[in-house]
Amino acid sequence: MKVIQSSKNPVVKQWKKLLTKKGREESHTYIVEGFHLVEEALKQQDTVIELIFIEGTDLPGKWNLDGVDLIQVSEDAGKALADTETTQGVFAVCRQKDASDINGKKFLLLDGLQDPGNIGTIIRTAEASGIDGIILGKGTVDPYNPKVLRSAQGSHFHVPIIRGELAEIISVLKEKGIPVYGTALEGGEEYTSIKPRDSYALIVGNEGNGMSPDTLSQTDQNLYIPIYGKSESLNVAIAAGILLYYFKNGQ
């Protein structure tokens, strides 16, 4: 076990970079905070690199720390890493998944989503629906943003999430014979016109503007969810939930 006494220690400085998108992208790692998320991370193989705890924090005896660097830090060093106001004093530095982690035949693609809470809820819902991988296009908020991590409640550890160029990903999916469905408020077909299937890629778009016209033009088919009342639209996370469970259990 290492011990770090000061928030000025260069190691702490490195960790603090993980609170920024740039720092996470450069190191291909991210940091999670709190007992629930750290415990979920530890359950996964090859995920946690370092476990950091503020001196005096009790670590559950059941945690398997084999192969994990254990680092005790002073309170001020720990607080420097915290994204929450009252930190639980425990953090894990985790490895990001990459394209080689993605296998399967059910995918969700996010095109330009901006709200971390929406993205976290969508990740949680997609994982619950049994999706094999989630790919975020360039305009979408970083999935390893602390707010996204909190709102996904640990689903990051149960489904591969990567960033990518949607146009390239869509080409690869099509080559593999996986049908690619976009979503649009107007145009396209009612979602119930397609049959549930065990192979698909679903794309949902930006909260205000929907999918980009470019991405929409590359899909096999675009779907919409009818509005039977007077609302102008559904929340994008709700729409994703309806479609993912429809694809699964269908009509």
Strands 189-190 and 221-224 turn out to be parallel
Q: What is the largest CA-CA distance in the chain?
A: 62
Q: Which is nearer to its own copies, 49 or 238 (CB)?
A: 238
Contact status: 61 vs its own copies (CB under 8 A): no
Q: Which structure tokens are listed for 26?
A: 């450069």
Contact status: 234 vs its own copies (CB under 8 A): yes
Residue that is written with structure tokens 């705890």 in the block: 53
Q: Which structure tokens are listed for 165?
A: 């160029």
Residue pair 71/1 in contact by the 8 Å Cβ criterion: yes
Contact status: 245 vs its own copies (CB under 8 A): yes
Residue pair 78/72 in contact by the 8 Å Cβ criterion: no
Mark 149-188 with x for binding to its own copies (rule: CB under 8 A) and - for no binding.
----xxx--xx-----------------------------
Contact status: 249 vs its own copies (CB under 8 A): yes
Contact status: 197 vs its own copies (CB under 8 A): no
One-character DSSP codes across 97-108 = P-GGG--SSEEE
Q: Which is nearer to its own copies, 134 or 180 (CB)?
A: 134
Contact status: 125 vs its own copies (CB under 8 A): yes
Count residues contacting its own copies (CB under 8 A)?
Answer: 35
State the minimum distance, in angstroms, from the CB of residue 194 to its own copies.
12
CA distance 58 to 182: 47
Residues making contact with its own copies (CB under 8 A): 121, 124-125, 127-131, 153-155, 158-159, 192, 225, 227-235, 237-239, 241-242, 245-246, 248-251
